[in-house]
Amino acid sequence: MKKTLLLISAIAFLFTSCDKDKAIVTDITINFNHTVNGSELMTNSMIYTNEAGENYDIQTLKYLISDITLHSENGSSLLLDEVHFIDISDESTFSLTYNEVPNNNYTSISFDMGLDTAKNISNKYVNDDFHTTMFWPEPNGGGYHYMKLEGAYNNDSTFYNTHTGGTMGADYSFNHVENISLTVDNDLGDVSVNINMEINNWYNSPNQIEFSSYGMGIMMNMMMQMNIQMNGITDVFSVTVDK
Amino acid sequence: MKSLIYLLLGAILIISCKKDLAPISGCTDNIAINYNPNAITEDQSCNYFSTTPYVIETPYGFPDMKIPSDNPMTVEGIALGEKLFKDPILSADNTQACINCHQQNFSFSDPNQFSTGIDNIQGNRNASALINLGWNTSFNWDGSSLTLEEQAFEPVTNSIEMHNTWMNVEQELNSHIDYPFLFKQAFNINYIDSSHVVKAIAQFERTLISTNSKLDRYLKNEEQLTISELNGYAIFNTEKGDCFHCHSTNMFMDNLFHNNGLDIEPFIDIGRAKVTSNPLDNGKFKTPTLRNVEMTAPYMHDGRFATLEEVVEHYDSGGKYSTTVDPLMKKLGVGLQLSNQEKKDLVAYLKTLTDNEFIGSD
C-alpha cells in the first residue's frame, strides 16, 4: 500500500516537474470599450454634442462584431469568434476570451462591423441571445440589425434611433483591419486586445449627420446607411494591445 | 392498539365486501406504481414507473424551447398538469381553477379588465394570455417569476386569486381518489407535494403553443393576405409603424421590458421597478406577444383599452412623455400620422395572428 502510494506520488512529481518546462499558454481577451469624444461612455446623461451642434445622450447601444480574426506573418489566420453581441446594459458582453492561442507572429487583427451577406440571413442565429433583439424584418431585407444606437437629443422627449443593417438586402457591414505586433511564444502569457468604438464619430466626418433630420429612423434609407458606413470606416474603431 | 385492530378489521370488511369476499389479488410488488399492500395473490397486473417523453417541435423562426432539466416533458406529466389547471381543487373553497381566469376561448386570458378571485376581490392587472410561454424568460407583467414552475406557486396562495394554502392543497390531493395514482404515474412519488403540482402545471403550460395563424400560413405560402392585411404587415414591420422592434420575430415579443408611453408620472403601477427597485425601470412592462391578440381584449397590463382600434390610436398619438419612455417611441410628440385606412390596415394585420385551432374553435 505504502509502496504504491510512494510510486504514485513520485510519478505525480515527475509530471509536475515536466510541466514546469512546458510552455506558458496564452489566452487572448478581447475587450470592447466605448468612448464619446475620447472619454468613457456614460449612459443616460445628456452631455454629448455632435458635429451638427446637437446635444444628446445614449440610452441603448447594442451591436454585432463578426469574424474577429488574428493574422500571422506566415499568412495563416486564427478565427477568435464568428459573431459577438455587445449590449451596453450587460457587462458580461464587454469581453470574450479565446484560450490557448497557438504560438505565432501575429501581425494584424481584423473584424467586421455587422454581418456580411453570407451571415446576414433571417433566423440564421435563431438560438443566439441576440436573435430577438437584433432581428431585422423581412419586408426590409431580413437578417439582423448591425447596431442599435438610441437616445434623446436636444431635450429629454425627442428621440433618435440609429439602426444600421442590410437595408433591402444590401451589405453595409465593413471590415476593420489593424496592424499589431504580437508574438505569442512559450513565455508570453495572457494578452488583452482592446477594440474601442468612438461613438460620436458615427455622426461626424466625412458625413455630418443631424438627429433632427434622421433621428426618426434610417432603416429604409440606403443613402444614410452608406453615409454612416463611411463614417464608421473612417475613424470609429481603434485597437490597442496590452501584453 | 385496540383502535388499530378495529381499523384493520374495518378495512378488511370494506375490502372484502368490495371484492365479494374473494381472496385479495393484485400487484404484490412494492416498487410497482399500482402496488396493492392488501393483495395476497399476485395477479400479474403490476405496472412499473415509465413515462412517455413528449417532444416539442420548434416552430419556424422560434428558438429551441429551453426546458428545465429537472422537469422533462412527459405525456403523463402534461395530462396531469392539464387536469390540475382545470380543477378548482387548487382554490381554497374549490370554486376557482386556473382556467377560470385563463379561458381557452380567449386564448387563455380573461375577458374582464381585472379578474375576480374567490373572495370577490379584484386585482389591478389584466390576466395575461397564456401563449408560447415556453419561450418566455420571465413571467407576469413585471417579470417577477423566472420560471413557469415558480410562477404556478403564486396564484394558488395569492389572497386576491385562489387564496389557498399549499398544506391544504397537498392534503386534498393526497386524499383524492385519482391524484395519488396520477402523480405516481407521472413522477413516481408516493406523497404529493407542491413542487410536483407546479411541475405538472408547467409541463402543460409549455404545450400551449400557437403557430397556426393566417400569417403563419401566409409565410409558408399556403394562404394569401388581403391588400389591407399586407399594408398592415408593411406598417408593422417598418419604422412607419415601428411595432416590430418590441413585438419582434415570429414570437411577436422580445422578452424585454419597455415603457410604451401609456402614462405620465407618477405611475400608478411602477411595473418592472417593483422587481428591480431601479427607478430607470419605472413604468416598464414585459412586451406581450401579439399572437391571438384579437382574442385577448382588454389590452395592456391594466386592461385599459377595450379594442385594438384604441391600441392603434394610442400608438398613432406617439404616446405620452415620461422619464423612462423608450427611445423606440421616437415619434413621441409627433405621432405615427397614420391615415384612417392605414389604422384599419394595421388592425387587419393584427387579426391575421389569430389561431382558431389554438382557441379550440376550429
Which tens digits make up the pLDDT trace of B36-66?
A: 889 999 999 998 889 999 999 999 999 999 9
Name A35's bridge partners. Answer: A40, A198
Regarding whether B324 and B224 lie in a shared domain, the answer is yes
Cell numbers linked to B21: 369476499
User: Domain for residue A140, yes or no?
Assistant: yes
Q: Say yes or no: B81 and B201 in one domain.
A: yes
**pLDDT score recorded for residue B17:** 47
* CA atoms of A36 and A202, how far apart (whole Å): 10
Distance CA B326, CA B62 (A): 25
Q: What CATH number did the domain enclosing B296 receive?
A: 1.10.760.10
Q: Do both B219 and B334 map to the same domain?
A: yes
Residue A159 counted as domain residue = yes
Residue B241 confidence (pLDDT): 97
The C-alpha atoms of residue A187 and residue A59 are separated, in whole angstroms, by 43
Out of A131, A138, A140, name the one closest to residue B63 (CB).
Answer: A131
The answer to whether residue B68 is domain-embedded is: no
Inter-chain residue contact A132 with B254, CB threshold 8 Å: yes
**Quick one: which H or E segment has residue B341?**
helix B340-351
Q: Residue B1 falls within a domain, yes or no?
A: no
Contact check, Cβ <8 Å, B329/A159: yes
pLDDT at position B19, please? Answer: 47
Residue B188 lies in a domain: yes
Do residues B333 and B317 make contact, with C-beta atoms less than 8 angstroms apart?
no
Chain A residues touching B241 at Cβ < 8 A: none
Using an 8 Å CB-CB cutoff, list chain A residues near B327: 59-60, 150-152, 159-161
B229 lies in the same domain as B202: no
CB contact under 8 A, A132 and B331: no
B154 shares its domain with B241: no
Q: Which of A135, A151, A219 sits opposite B327 (nearest CB)?
A: A151
Judge whether B341 lies within some domain: yes
Q: Which positions in chain B touch A137 (Cβ < 8 Å)? A: 237-238, 244
Q: Hey, which residues does A200 pair with through a beta bridge? A: none
Q: Which of residues 46-85 of A touch B (CB under 8 A)?
A: 59-60
CB of A151 less than 8 A from some CB of B: yes
Give residue A170's identity as a one-letter amino acid code: A
Residues A54/A212, Cβ–Cβ less than 8 Å: yes
Bond from prior residue into B37 cis (ω within 30 degrees of 0) = no
In a domain, B295, yes or no: yes
Please check whether residues B161 and B226 belong to one and the same domain: no
Domain housing A231? 25-242
Domain assignment of residue B225, yes or no = yes
Does B176 share its domain with B300? no
B4: distance to nearest CA of chain A, Å? 58
Return the axis-axis angle of helices B166-174 and B148-157, rounded to nearest 10°.
Answer: 100
Using CA atoms, how far apart are residues A64 and A60, in angstroms rounded to an integer?
14
Q: Which residue has the cell 419597455?
A: B258
Q: What is the pLDDT at residue B2?
A: 57
A154 close contact with B: CB closer than 8 A: no
**Rounded distance between C-alpha atoms, residue B352 and residue B326, angstroms:** 27
pLDDT on residue B49: 87
Q: Which domain holds residue B33?
A: 20-49
| Residue in B6, B337, B296 with CA at minimum distance from that of residue B132 | B296
Helix (H) or strand (E) holding A182: strand A174-184
| B63: preceding bond cis by omega (within 30 degrees) | no
What is the distance in angstroms between the Cα of A87 and the nearest Cα belonging to chain B? 13
Query: Chain A partners of B336 at a C-beta cutoff of 8 Å?
Result: none
Kindly give the parts of chain A with pLDDT less than 50.
none
Question: What residue of A is the nearest CA neighbor of B253?
Answer: A132
A56 CB neighbour count, 10 Å cutoff: 24
Bridging pattern class, strands A95-98 and A159-165: unpaired
- Would residue A15 count as lying in a domain? no
pLDDT confidence of residue B16: 47
Residue A79, CB-side half-sphere exposure with 13 Å CA sphere: 8
Statement to judge: residues B280 and B221 lie in one domain: yes
The nearest alpha carbon in chain A to B320 belongs to A157
Beta carbons within 10 angstroms of residue B48's beta carbon: 12
Whether A135 and chain B come into contact, CB under 8 Å, resolves to yes
* Closest Cβ–Cβ partner in A133, A138, A150 for B327: A150
CB atoms within 10 A of CB A68: 22
Q: What is the DSSP string of B183-240?
A: HHHHH--SS--HHHHHHHHHHHHHT-----SHHHHHHTTSSPPPHHHHHHHHHHTSTT
Is A155 near chain B, with CB under 8 Å?
A: no
Which candidate in B138, B238, B324, B349 is best for mutational testing of the A interface (most A CBs within 10 A)?
B238
Would you say residue A95 lies in a domain? yes
* Interchain proximity A123–B61, CB inside 8 Å: yes
Give a yes or no: residue A7 inside a domain: no
d(CA A153, CA A55): 6
What's the complex ipTM?
A: 0.89
User: Which residue in A135, A139, A161 is closest to B327 by CB distance?
Assistant: A161
| DSSP state letter for B120 | S
Last residue of a domain, one of B185, B206, B227: B206
Which residues in chain B land under pLDDT 70? 1-22, 361-362
Q: Give dist(CA B64, CA B241) in Å, integer.
A: 29
Using the Cα atoms of residue B241, residue B244, residue B247 and residue B250 in order, give the sign of their dihedral.
positive
Contact A80, A96 (CB under 8 A): yes
Look at residues B167, B152, B192 and name the one whose alpha carbon lies nearest to residue B92.
B167
| Partner residues linked to B299 by β-bridges | B305
d(CA B49, CA B52): 10
Task: Identify whether residues B175 and B255 lie together within a single domain.
Answer: no
Q: Are residues B270 and B194 in the same domain?
A: no
Same domain, yes or no: B344 and B222: yes
**Does B316 map to a domain?**
yes
State the Cα–Cα distance between residues A28 and A183, nearest whole angstrom.
Answer: 12
From residue A77, alpha-carbon distances to A74, B1, B340 in Å are 9, 84, 57
Q: Is residue A17 part of a domain?
A: no
Q: Confirm whether A12 is domain-assigned.
A: no
- Give me the number of domains chain B comprises: 3
Q: How confident is the model over B335-362, as pLDDT tens digits?
A: 999 999 999 999 999 999 999 999 886 5
Q: Quick check: is B87 in a domain? A: yes
Looking up cell 394585420, which residue turns up? Answer: B349
| Residue A62 included in any domain | yes
Q: Does A102 touch chain B (CB under 8 A)?
A: no
User: How many domains would you assign to chain A?
Assistant: 1
Buried b (16+ CB within 10 A) or exposed e, B241-280: bbbbbbbbbbbbbbebbbbbbbbeeebebbbbbebbeeee
Q: What is the pLDDT of residue A123?
A: 96
Q: Which of A132, A150, A159 sits opposite B248 (nearest CB)?
A: A132
The reply to whether B184 and B269 lie within a common domain is no
**pLDDT for position B21:** 54
Go through B139-163 and write b for each residue having 16 or more CB atoms within 10 A of its CB, e for each that does not. bbbbbebebbbebbbebbbeebbbb
Q: What are phi and psi of B100, to 5 degrees?
A: -70, -30
Q: Amino acid identity of A172?
A: Y
